[in-house]
Amino acid sequence: PTLLSNAETFAQLAIGARIGPERYGNTGLYDEPGTVMLTVSGAVARPMVIEVPTGVPLRYVLQLAGAPPVPQGVLTGGYHGKWIDAATVNEAIVSRNSLDAVGGALGAGAILPISQETCPLGESLRVAQWLAEESAGQCGPCYLGLPAAARGMEDIINGGGPAALEALKQVAKNVKRRGACSHPDGSAMFLESTIKAFTDDLAAHVLGNGCGRPVEGVLPLFEGGMAPAGISAGGAPEDAGDSRQKIFVDWTLCRGHGLCADILPEVFQLGADGFPTVAQAKVPRYAEAKALRAVRRCPALALRIEEDTRAKEPSRNLPVLSQGRGRRALGR
């Protein structure tokens, strides 16, 4: 008895009923007739909502909004969508089938390019943190998994290395198809697309000292486009990052009980043989207490924590992009 859909669907039904199916079918593509409402934002000179027939080149829409001629990437479908690169933008047209074919998504119709001057992982971290805060808190994959995924992206940016990358992949995999709604699925798809789309930037953070580019906050999250409080020019929260601690596995003692992976999943995952997949790893600052708990609870006494004397104290003088207040900025 109750019909639920979005306003655009009802508007399209009204137009189709008024002008008739034959005339309606003459607009746009043969297999996807009609028009699409697109919200174009991000690194554009003229943010807009625009109605276009299906089949219009995506690059034309970006030109109308004043996007960079060669964007570093374009997020298609909104924050439950997928990234495509500049070369792919030139091939794509506005349609579900076309965007799916090039690795993008029409989704909610949001199109968000970013420029070459911003850190794409830092921009994606802001979105991941916001998605985690938007959880209704009704199921574990969303309430626990999305914050863990955001921390995983944070660890990558802060130099967590291959272990941090593998941890993020595992968390994203674990939350999919397990939630009470599709929020964790869409969020995981966004994170997986980020990893796949920005391989050069990812390598700079995982294997080097980072990309060196600031986070400009071009992906809008709240009123005024403010970033969460504490996001610094390096793309990471000021109170985040690695501590001076490293945790080690003594293979002569380890018996594969697996408690370390249960207590400290940010660092330890179990391989096919049931043993941890890393021998040593940096401990994220937020996980220091959990790391100590893992050491104390290991039945085989196979874990130890040591201070990394070579680690430098993080700078406390990084400029902060803005002082938004997360969900409070939405008036909730």
Q: Are 178 and 185 in contact (CB under 8 A)?
A: no
How high is the pLDDT of residue 222?
64
Q: Are 95 and 132 in contact (CB under 8 A)?
A: no
Q: Is 246 helix (H, G, I), strand (E, B) or coil?
A: strand
How high is the pLDDT of residue 241?
52
> Is the backbone of residue 81 left (phi > 0), alpha (psi -120 to 50) or beta?
beta
Element (H, E) at 292: helix 288-297
- List phi, psi (to 5°) of 140: -60, -45
Q: Is 111 helix (H, G, I), strand (E, B) or coil?
A: strand
How high is the pLDDT of residue 238?
43
How high is the pLDDT of residue 293?
87
How high is the pLDDT of residue 28?
92
How high is the pLDDT of residue 225?
37
The parts of the chain modelled with pLDDT lower than 70 are: 1-4, 222-243, 309-332
Classify residue 315 by burial, with Cβ atoms within 10 Å: 0-12, 13-18, 19+: exposed
The residue ranges of DSSP E strands in the chain, in sequence order, are: 35-40, 48-53, 73-76, 82-84, 110-114, 242-249, 280-284, 303-307
CA 217 from centroid of its chain's CA atoms? 14
Q: Are 245 and 307 in contact (CB under 8 A)?
A: yes
Angle at 50 between CA 99 and CA 187, to 5 degrees: 45
How high is the pLDDT of residue 322?
36
How high is the pLDDT of residue 312?
52
Angle at 246 between CA 318 and CA 198, to 5 degrees: 55
Q: Residue 211 is which amino acid? A: C
Closest CA to 38 of 4, 17, 68, 62: 62
Angle at 130 between CA 126 and CA 133, to 5 degrees: 145
CA 4 from centroid of its chain's CA atoms? 28
C-alpha torsion sign, points 79, 84, 90, 92? negative
Q: Residue 54 is which amino acid? A: T
The CA distance from 70 to 20, in Å, is 41
How high is the pLDDT of residue 2?
55
3's tokens: 């019909």
**For residue 235, what are the CA distances in angstroms to 43, 80, 94, 119, 287?**
17, 21, 31, 7, 19
How high is the pLDDT of residue 47?
94
135's tokens: 């959880």
Domains and CATH numbers, the chain: 9-114 (3.10.20.600), 120-237 (1.20.1440.230), 242-307 (3.30.70.20)
pLDDT tens across 30-76, in order? 999 999 999 999 999 999 999 999 999 999 999 999 999 999 999 99
Q: Is 321 helix (H, G, I), strand (E, B) or coil?
A: coil
